Structure 1
């Protein structure tokens, strides 16, 4: 692993005692100052210790051909590793000499308003294209098509795994730039659940030792009774690793329970308050077995990022799985649903199709009466339309829709490239408001400022697949199934099949 910044723990220094103050007021003042000094020294020691516990992976493994950075929301890739050293083998994390594997992964999109978030899970058997990835000796691999998603983490066959390769794979798959990547192993996960005094979970039926280890000859002892219960440490690990004995025993069902677990963990942390004082013991537990990108490689950066999420509302924190279907024993991605999901996140739209308020409005958790959308009027707005797909006649079809709403269409043409997945509205200086009006006719369209004057619509495959997705300006929901909110009943939607 490159870029690690392990350091020895700092020691709290002592200073000569000052002259004792006279009178009760002086003693109180000195006592207050002493408390302040000790608290400050203790906080500094804690930060120094956290810095010593944080590992980073090298940015030299990231692709040179990355998606453009977003000016709105943030994307954080979270990877759960099931094979690392430092005591993980005692918790089922694999042999010390084994290679690192990703047991679970999800992409967390935090919206610009910092009140909404959505976590998209990737089944480990999902068939994807893995782009070139860097090996430990500095060489780069060739692209691999139709590989299992979790194999990206194992490129290079090292015990630490290859988080940069998984990040490259996610960026290629989604077209979204990953701002940060975090890898948590078994040991760190178990410690985290201990610090919060356990997490409330639920089981749809009794679970026995054989369900956790199918190679057992007998059913074994009861591990989890049916219903709600609190788990921590190794029992929490057993819960999130459990696959057999529930539903069809698939990874899809396990993802449902993992999403429910993360939701319950968030609920527990939020209920106790997200402050630096409360974050420090959480961070201390997590960072001992945490690997992050260089952008989160210090205690200040890590805690600052965590604090930026303190206003995310539980009900507006959603969990989904990438649109999928079975392909034999593997999982295939379903299009155009997946592309619609990535386009929505790129445009910072919620799963319901709405834009968030960018932090300028009331709390998203406060219920408000939804006003009906106003009719789209294109009066005084001139637009050129370009077909960015191989579907013939698409520009003419979109032009007719625009004219029906009062827009002036200055021309139609074929775009320079015909591989656009989502629709893009390009606008020149001073045209942003008019471009936003145009975007109301195209589901999950991305607004993109350019130097040239005017407004151009570049149609993507999502419009070709569903040209009537948003003809009236009403936001279009992203087609997903089994969406969970962080405040849902912990006993709901826990298995598949």
Structure 2
């Protein structure tokens, strides 16, 4: 990919250049490796020679490939996009099968939100077949594509059909989808996954039934040999890859079931790393195996940067590390996002609220000592003397009317409601003309996460994004609320028993 480079200035032996082709058999890459990398690399800090060895392993993609039209940075935690790619180069074809001349795809991806208290984390899996809008992305020749609508999510990684993939385009897509700023992006391939599982001596998994070769390859004419036995067992290397790739003949046979199995596997990998102890001697082989197959954004492009970020995660507890899936439903053979549940999830993370609705922003003591309404609560907002125009920039019917009713309850004068020409806004934007800054700031207290933008037009307007559907002004409160059961009900903790909830296989 244009702009990609090794931190040390040299390329991996063998290279990654391959001819473009159409992939016939998609193998699901493994998610969550970056989380483990951070946990283990931080423990090697203090052994300076490790920096030299790991620096030579890390590859980066160009910062100029990231969109300029991004959500604003936030102090409410940090977000890491983890992409699993099934590229067939650098030894990956021997592990994953498929056509060596094909490009890789982001068949596994999740957004890891690390809360501001550095004690909680949530990993949100984004199904590869999810229908999304892909924004403009940079091509290897330096030009930019036109935005795409209603397109499969994993197509973003293949934009440009480069042998190295397009992680920046996937990052741009996730930011557009969620309204959250992605602070870091990490890409892991087959080789890194296999070597990591071997470096820790295997990972415990649990299967609800015996698994045979035909379950892994449904095109086989016969059942074949047994490759997994029913019950708990330890897997590594190729067997670990086989476990996370199986779809047919196990669970409901879907990619969605496989996502839950991959979440359980990552949880088990994290537990294994923690249980093995935290000495540099045991962790160096793991760190080396992981970083050899990483591609990261420039912000993590050295061992020192990785360690610095990892140090911020040292207090995240396994019990408070949750795995969920973007709210979804089938739309034919594809996956559609469920609204407004998805917006509720993104809004909660943006506000640093955990899945059960608790504030993880580090303000617990302050809230406990000040139970009365603060100046920022909706109850204390007065819109007396402030006129507002309300514009619905979404496809959600009646959203402008709902917002207008809420504003009137707080004394605002609503000058009118309208529908925007563009109806794909995720974030809510408040525009204000000369001399209206104070009025706009007051209005913003009813729209958590809204972006304030000055305008040459007079007056104040609120342009509603889909995030508002999850946090309407009529119900906004200083006390956080729990997410819909469709989001939180299926969450898995990193310390859960690997044999629990085996409905997914």
Q: TM-score of the superposition, structure 1-length normalised? A: 0.78
Check if 1:72 corresponds to 2:76.
Answer: yes
Question: Cα offset for 1:109?
Answer: 0.7
Match of 1:446 among 449, 466, 472: 449
For residues 115 and 431 of structure 2, the distance between their equivalents in structure 1, rounded to whole angstroms, comes to 22
Match 1:140 to one of 122, 144, 147: 144
Match of 1:234 in 2: 238
For 1:40-67, what per-residue CA distance to the aligned partner results, in whole angstroms no more than 9, with x for missing partners?
A: 9993332211101111111222112121
Match of 1:36 in 2: none
Cross-structure match for 1:354: 358
- Secondary structure of the residue aligned to 1:53 is coil
RMSD: 3.8
Instruction: Tell me the CA shift for residue 197 of structure 1.
Output: 1.5
Which of 455, 478, 485 does residue 483 from structure 2 map onto?
478
Shift of 1:139: 2.1
C-alpha distance in 1 between matches for 2:164 and 2:75: 32
TM-superposed deviation, 1:138: 1.6
Question: Corresponding residue for 1:59?
Answer: 63
Residue aligning to 2:164: 160
Which residue matches 1:343?
347
Q: SS at 2:322's partner residue?
A: strand
Distance 1:8 1:478, change over 3 A: same
- State the Cα distance separating 1:361 from its structure 2 match: 5.9
Deviations 1:219-267 (A, max 9, x none): 1111111111111111111111111111221100000000011111122
1:121 paired to 2:125: yes
Q: Does 1:308 align with 2:312?
A: yes
- C-alpha separation in 1, matches of 2:9 and 2:378: 61
Change over 3 Å in CA distance of 1:417–1:146 after alignment to 2: closer
User: What residue in structure 2 maps to residue 5 of structure 1?
Assistant: 7
Q: Displacement of 1:416 after TM fit?
A: 9.8
Separation in 1, partners of 2:427, 2:143: 34
* Structure number with larger C-alpha Rg: 1
Is the 8 Å Cα contact of residues 482 and 493 (structure 1) preserved in structure 2? no
Deviation at 1:447, TM superposition (A): 7.0
Residue-by-residue CA offset, 1:52-91 (whole Å, 9 max, x unaligned)? 1111111222112121112221111101111141111111
Distance of aligned partners of 1:386 and 1:459 in 2 relative to their CA distance in 1, 3 Å threshold:
farther
Aligned partner of 2:91 in structure 1 is 87
* Residues 426, 435 of structure 1: 8 Å contact kept: no
Secondary structure in structure 1 of the residue aligned to 2:49: helix
Distance 1:106 1:203 in 2: 23
Residues 3 and 417 (structure 1), Cα distance of their counterparts in 2 relative to 1, 3 Å cut: farther
Would you say 1:252 and 2:260 are equivalent positions? Answer: no
Residues 97-496 of structure 1 mapped to structure 2, 5 A cutoff: 97-273=101-277, 279-358=283-362, 378=379, 387-389=390-392, 391=398, 392-399=400-407, 401-402=409-410, 409-413=411-415, 421=426, 445-446=448-449, 461=466, 463=468, 467=472, 470=475, 474-479=479-484, 480=487, 481-496=489-504
- How many angstroms apart in 2 are the aligned matches of 1:172 and 1:219? 44
Q: Tell me how far apart the structure 2 counterparts of residues 79 and 118 of structure 1 sit (CA, whole Å).
A: 16
| In structure 1, distance between residues paired with 2:320 and 2:293 | 29
Q: Which runs of 5+ in 1 are unaligned?
A: 10-39, 363-369, 403-408
In the alignment, the residues of structure 2 paired with residue 59 and residue 456 of structure 1 have an alpha-carbon distance, to the nearest angstrom, of 34
1: CA distance, partners of 2:351 / 2:45: 44
How far the C-alpha of 1:354 sits from its partner, in A, is 2.3
Give SS of 1:446's match. coil
Q: 1:152-176 CA distances to partner (integer Å, 9 max, x unpaired)?
A: 1112222221111111111111111
Shift of 1:396: 4.3
Q: Comparing both chains, which one has the higher relative contact order based on Cα–Cα distances under 8 Å and sequence gaps of 6 or more?
A: 2
Partners of 1:54 and 1:292 within 8 A in 2: yes
Task: Provide the C-alpha distance between the structure 1 equivalents of 2:255 and 2:413, rounded to a whole number of angstroms.
Answer: 50
Q: Secondary structure at the match of 1:160?
A: coil
Structure 1 CA distance, aligned partners of 2:51 and 2:312? 18
Q: Once the 2 structures are TM-superposed, how far is the Cα of residue 371 of structure 1 from its aligned partner?
A: 11
SS at match of 1:43: coil
SS of 2:56's equivalent in the other structure is helix
Offset at 1:311?
0.8
Deviations 1:184-235 (A, max 9, x none): 1011111111122211111121111111111111111111111111111111
Match of 2:41 in 1: none
C-alpha distance in 2 between matches for 1:218 and 1:371? 68
CA deviations 1:347-387 (Å, max 9, x no partner) are: 222222222142x669xxxxxxx999878794685575663
- Output one character per residue of 1:392-418: Cα deviation in whole Å (capped at 9) or x when no partner: 53344214554xxxxxx2533458995
Cα deviation, residue 8, structure 1: 7.0
| Higher mean C-alpha displacement, 479-488 vs 121-130 | 479-488
Cα distance between partner residues in 2 of 1:93 and 1:132: 32
Aligned length in residues:
447
Instruction: Tell me the secondary structure at the aligned position of residue 123 of structure 2.
Output: strand
